[in-house]
């Protein structure tokens, strides 16, 4: 592989466009597969306003579903939302070569298995993004805060492919923590996402301050987080309870923040309910762990989703 491997981003929305820009800064050829924003990106490239400066770039190639790649990429980075009915394996199949490494930058738990099972010969690298970034127009991105990645080979280990990709992100200005245990790191990120993201939707898009400062809000977050810890423990990933206090203190230090699921809800886009919450409840059931708060939130949000579907039809 060359020092500047070829990158293909499938699903260049907020996350895909941003991390594509970082790899472009590191000197890599970066191409994108677009859907609704194809025309805008083909005509004008991707505009990114960021605290790191102007990260705007023209992708080397702009594709859409159904096109054929000029050559299979060294790294394919998948950044679509993890939603029921979206066959992520089918989405990436046409773009993969025998040596393509598949990189997932997506939220949720147990989201790698479907991809690893579909492509047993291609290495899968799993990443967690700690960032606030959003789409503000077709091909226009606003990077609000942070950007750190946690990365590891799935199901475990740190391969040379991970190391090389991590070096490139570092060269482009993004801090990467490599981990031998990426599934454990997913559990740790879910300690935040699983309580906060769905609760913000139940609370009509509430930000972090509103959630924590409402009467009973912090207690509810504590109860939800405790349940996630119990499921993680039953699944083989024990965690120190002191993490709950640290997480709440850390969240209180942030300026009031709307997470990605709250933004999806407020923009009338589907939410990643199963990836972030449903899969945790399913794993709890498998291990016989009672999760009454998580389950109530899941069922209430499923009802809301059902209503939305009825409203749209």
Ligand X SMILES: CC(C)(CO)C(=O)C(=O)O
Site for ligand NDP, rule CB under 6 A: 11-16, 33-37, 65, 79-82, 91, 105-107, 129, 131-135, 260, 272
User: 163-202: string of b/e by CB count within 10 Å (b at 16+)?
Assistant: eebbebbeebebebebbeebbbbbbbbbbbbbbbbbbbbe
Determine how many CB atoms are found less than 10 A away from the CB of residue 301: 20
DSSP strand pairing (30-34 vs 124-137): unpaired
Smallest separation (angstroms) from ligand X to the CB of 148: 9
**Site residues for ligand X, window 189-208 (CB under 6 A)?**
192-193, 197
- For residues 169 and 23, the answer to whether their CB atoms sit within 8 Å is yes
Select from ligand NDP, ligand X, none the partner in contact with residue 91, using the beta carbon and a kind-dependent cut-off of 5 to 8 Å: ligand NDP
235 binds, among ligand X, ligand NDP, none (CB under 5 to 8 A by kind): none
Return the residue of 6, 31, 61, 260 that touches ligand X, per CB under 6 A.
Answer: 260
- Of 15 and 96, the one with the shorter C-beta distance to ligand X is 15
Smaller CB distance to ligand NDP: residue 106 or 112?
Answer: 106
Q: Which stretch binds ligand X (CB under 6 A): 28-36, 50-58, 82-90, 127-135?
A: 127-135
Residues 230-259 within binding reach of ligand X (CB under 6 A)? 259
Between 60 and 209, CB nearer to ligand X: 209
* Cβ distance to ligand X smaller for residue 62 or 103: 103
Among 4, 45, 130, 218, binds ligand X (CB under 6 A): 130
Q: Which of ligand X, ligand NDP, none does residue 197 bind (CB under 5 to 8 Å by kind)?
A: ligand X
> Which of ligand NDP, ligand X, none is residue 82 near (CB under 5 to 8 Å by kind)?
ligand NDP
CB of 79 to ligand NDP, least distance (A): 5
Give the Cα separation of 83 and 27 in Å (integer): 32
CB 33 within 8 A of CB 65: yes
What sign has the CA pseudo-torsion 271, 273, 275, 277? positive
Alpha carbon dihedral 269, 270, 275, 281, in 10-degree steps, equals 130
CA–CA separation, 229 and 110 (whole Å): 16
């Amino acid at each position: 592989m060359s020092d500047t491997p070829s990158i293909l981003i499938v699903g260049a929305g907020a996350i895909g466009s941003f991390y594509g820009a970082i790899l472009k800064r590191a000197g890599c050829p970066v191409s994108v597969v677009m859907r609704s924003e194809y025309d805008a990106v083909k005509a004008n490239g991707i505009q990114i306003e960021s605290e790191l400066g102007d990260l705007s770039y023209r992708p080397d190639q702009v594709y859409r579903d159904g096109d054929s790649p000029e050559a299979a990429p060294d790294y394919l980075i998948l950044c679509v939302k993890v939603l029921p009915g979206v066959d992520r394996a089918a989405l990436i199949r046409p773009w993969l070569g025998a040596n393509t490494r598949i990189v997932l930058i997506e939220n949720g738990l147990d989201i790698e298995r479907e991809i690893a099972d579909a492509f047993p010969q291609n290495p899968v690298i799993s990443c967690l993004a700690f960032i606030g970034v959003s789409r503000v127009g077709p091909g226009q991105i606003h990077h609000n805060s942070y950007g750190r990645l946690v990365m590891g080979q799935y199901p475990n280990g740190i391969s040379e492919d991970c190391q090389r990709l991590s070096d490139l992100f570092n060269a482009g200005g993004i801090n990467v923590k490599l981990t031998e245990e990426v599934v454990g790191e997913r559990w740790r990120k879910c300690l935040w996402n699983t309580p906060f993201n769905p609760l913000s939707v139940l609370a009509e898009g509430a930000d972090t301050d509103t959630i924590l400062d409402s009467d009973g809000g912090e207690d509810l977050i504590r109860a939800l987080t405790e349940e996630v810890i119990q499921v993680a423990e039953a699944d083989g990933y024990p965690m120190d309870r002191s993490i709950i206090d640290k997480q709440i203190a850390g969240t209180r230090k942030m300026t009031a923040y709307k997470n990605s699921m709250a933004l999806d809800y407020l923009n009338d886009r589907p939410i990643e309910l199963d990836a972030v919450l449903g899969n945790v409840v399913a794993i709890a059931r498998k291990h016989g762990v009672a999760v009454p708060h998580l389950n109530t939130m899941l069922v209430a949000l499923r009802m809301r989703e059902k209503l939305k579907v009825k409203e749209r039809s």
